[in-house]
Amino acid sequence: MPDESQLTFSTEQILANVPTREPLVVKGVKCHGGFDADGNYRSPRTQFRVPAIKAWQAQHVATSGTALFEIPADTISPQVPNPAQAKFLLRSGVREPMVRWLSEIAIVEGFGAMIRELPVPPLSTFIREDTAGTALAHLTGGLFEAHARDEAGWSEEGGHRQMWDAARDAALSNPVISPEIYTNLIARRGAGQPSALFPELGEPVERLIRFMVNVLAIEVFAASTFAWAEEVLSDPEVSDAPDDAANLVRYIRSDESPHVEYLRTALSEIQARTLLTLDAKPVSGGKVVEDLAARGIRAMLRQRLNERPVMVRDLIRKTANVKDIDELMRQFDALATPWTPPARYRDLAPERGAVPVGY
Ligand SMILES: [Fe+2]
Ligand SMILES: [Fe+2]
């Protein structure tokens, strides 16, 4: 284990596993993580990664005197449908929507592999101050790679992509999975680059920061989605494997914490520094992170508040095989959780600022 003053780690260290006694095996597939001598689940690649992130966070707070960046808690809208609505559908024999929602979570987790492809320009070309011994300096030194492996699996080892599929198959007794779930999701992701907010920084720098902010937003919003899934899948009244399926979701949730923490650390480190434009003029890192975050949160809220409820209701109407669909929808709607975004996020008019499709 590293001591608290260690701030520089090799890629091998960032990717190193805590020793475990037993692997996590799901439906014959060895997954990441494992169980220690006390039978507790230990997340993958956390032996050095977790203490490293803690050390970088402590250093950031001590040297900058500022708190760590976060996606404000009051912007996190409740999951649609909520647990009561999802359970109501399952109790009513309407299972296809839940099959799709869990499949979509698995697919989006798999997209996490893309983070390893994100180009990181040399830090000294766009950050004025030193970055030695920071999370930023380790993005390409294991942090992005560990994140990609956690989400999408690595080599023969399953990751969240496979674990969500397994949770779905256990809880809903191996449902038939339509290939159209994948193609629909890809189609919804849309194409095209969002317009630049800071063209003077150059596209690669803005893309890097935008990507990190958007992935952090997805991770933070996903926490409410995953809590929702755990609540539904652990209920023996509606889940065919309340222990196994809910445990898998619990393991996944514990693996997510390092993702949130390293991203907010790296973004905090940018916030506390001065960025350099293409012609070497200074720009406040704080402003860049804040503006890109506000746009990402707005896009996330637009998707969760405007687009998702419509899609959810359409999907139920399309797939429910019940006598009185209007009555089903009436009862479903009556269980909804009313929620209004904070005043500063009330205007959700469409704008060009794509965020990856989240949850
Ligand atoms: Fe994940
Ligand atoms: Fe994650």
Give me the pLDDT at residue 1, please: 64
Distance 109 CA to ligand 1 centre (A): 5
Specify the higher pLDDT residue, 29 or 206.
Answer: 206
Averaged pLDDT of the chain: 94
Interval between CA 265 and ligand 2 midpoint (Å): 15
- Tokens encoding 124: 């000294």
> Does the structure show a pLDDT above 60 at 359?
no
What do you get for the CA distance between the two ends of the chain, in Å?
35
The pLDDT tens digits of the residues spanning 32-82 come to 999 999 999 999 999 999 999 999 999 999 999 999 999 999 999 999 999
Ligand nearest to the CA of 161: 1
- Average pLDDT of the segment spanning 158-183: 95
pLDDT for position 356? 47
Residues within 5 Å of ion ligand 2 by Cβ? 219, 256, 259
* Position 348 confidence tier, pLDDT thresholds 50, 70, 90: confident
**Span from the CA of 260 to the centroid of ligand 2 (angstroms):** 7
Q: What is the dihedral of CA 24, 30, 33, 37, to 10 degrees?
A: 40
CA of 168 to the centre of ligand 2 (A): 18
**Per-residue buried b or exposed e for 226-263, using 16+ beta carbons within 10 Å of the residue's own CB:** bebbbbbbbbeebbebbebbbbbbbbbbebbebbbbbb
The gap from C-alpha 202 to its chain's centroid, in whole angstroms, comes to 26
**Spacing, Cα 19 to ligand 1 middle (Å):** 21
State the pLDDT at residue 349.
64
Kindly tell me if the per-residue pLDDT of 282 is higher than 80. Answer: yes
- Residues 152-165: what's their mean pLDDT? 95
> What is residue 352's predicted lDDT score, i.e. its pLDDT?
52
Tell me the mean pLDDT in the region 84-111: 96
Q: What is the pLDDT of residues 106-131, one digit of tens each?
A: 999 999 999 999 999 999 999 999 99
Span 197-209, average pLDDT:
97
Residue 136 CA, distance from chain mean position: 19
State the pLDDT at residue 186. Answer: 87
Cα of 253 from ligand 2 centre, angstroms:
8
Whose atoms come closest to the Cα of 260: which ligand?
2
- Compute the distance from residue 27 Cα to the ligand 2 centre, in Å: 22
Angle between helices 144-152 and 96-111 (to 10 degrees): 150
Q: Check pLDDT > 90 for residue 2.
A: no
pLDDT at 28 (0 to 100): 86
